Amino acid sequence: MSRNIIEVNDLTKKYDELVAVDSISFDVKEGEIFSLVGPNGAGKTTTVEILECLRKPTSGNARVLGHDVKNEDEKIKKKIGVMPQDFNTFERLTAEENIKLMGDLYGSDNVKEIMRKVGVDKFKNKKFDDLSGGMKTKVGIGMTLISNADLLFLDEPTTGLDPHARRETWNLIKDLKKMGKTVFLTTHYMEEVEYLSDRAGILINGKIEVIDSIENLIEEHGGGIKVKVLEDGEAVDIINDRADEVLRGEDTWTGIFDNKKEARQALIKLFQLDAKVEVEEAGMDEVFLRLTGGKIDEGGELV
């Protein structure tokens, strides 16, 4: 396998009494998209910002590109690209001016090329303040990319974006991987983890519950069949009676069946009722549910 680009050992961060990150250990490998996923307040940003040398760890250690985060800030900062959570930049500078500023800070001048790559050139002369959320994210990724760094940190890059902009951002992140970048992503969208990452860690209350490749996670903790019922009534009773676990959506009920036979029988019943159903293979949602007994809602809260 490729080499470790980030190594985290027993890392702990306390804010006074609050243990935000609780002796976590993990590695990130060169060239992969790694996701740290967890609900609000899990400690994602704290972890990422320790790696970016923006916060001091309380104990434990971490190496980024071979450098110690505790005392090699300068070396690390030159070699990484960062997009902080709720990222912001000079509001009255244009998209291009903001990217150019970053270029100057990193000593690179391929502004045009970067703008083209991330699709900023169409609105490069608009002030940052006047951009939509999706456009801002593109500028943010452009500002990260112009570091010419091989390791990029994106802290919740798609939070708050509409589905279309989120899709676009996903494609952009996939492109980053194609450019050979290693991407460290945080998110609370399971769909995003599944679609983008090679490996993921689930972080809850400052602790890593599990960490593995997406395939392994799904194979070990997911698997099974998801049957989603789109209407109330008898169909829901069938799901409640037969499924191993039930996830409630706004007006949908999703039954997860570990056993394919069970799932088939339930489906036959449902079809006899002529109920509206969707069938999917279970993914990260179920992995998360199985491991934590909960789910993360759209706002990032654990429910």
Ligand X SMILES: Nc1ncnc2c1ncn2[C@@H]1O[C@H](COP(=O)(O)OP(=O)(O)OP(=O)(O)O)[C@@H](O)[C@H]1O
Judge whether 155 and 137 are in contact, CB under 8 Å. Answer: no
Residue 138 binds which of ligand X, another protein, Mg ion, none (CB < 5-8 A, kind-dependent) = none
List 4, 12, 61, 85, residue binding Mg ion (CB under 5 A): 85
Q: What residues does 162 pair with on adjacent strands?
A: none
Q: Give the number of residues in contact with ligand X, rule: CB under 6 A.
A: 14
Judge whether 263 and 257 are in contact, CB under 8 Å. Answer: yes
> Between residue 83 and residue 142, which ones bind another protein under the rule CB under 8 A?
84, 86-93, 97-98, 101-102, 104-107, 127
Is residue 77 part of the contact set for another protein (CB under 8 A)? yes
The runs of H, that is alpha helices, within 107-233 are 111-118, 133-145, 163-178, 190-196, 214-221
Is residue 53 part of the contact set for another protein (CB under 8 A)? yes
For residue 146, the 8-state DSSP code is: T
Question: Which pairing describes strands 199-204 and 253-257: parallel, antiparallel, or unpaired?
Answer: unpaired
Of 77-85, 127-135, 168-176, 248-256, the segment contacting Mg ion by CB under 5 A is 77-85
Is residue 219 part of the contact set for another protein (CB under 8 A)? no
Question: Which pairing describes strands 18-29 and 4-15: parallel, antiparallel, or unpaired?
Answer: antiparallel
Q: CB-wise, 45 or 169, nearer to ligand X?
A: 45
Residue 147 binds which of ligand X, another protein, Mg ion, none (CB < 5-8 A, kind-dependent) = another protein
> Between residue 37 and residue 66, which ones bind ligand X under the rule CB under 6 A?
38, 40-46
CA dist., res. 134 & res. 152, Å (int):
19
Q: CB-wise, 157 or 255, nearer to ligand X?
A: 157
Secondary element (H or E) of residue 230: none
SS3 content of the chain, % helix, strand, coil (to 5): 40, 30, 35
Q: CB-wise, 92 or 178, nearer to another protein?
A: 92
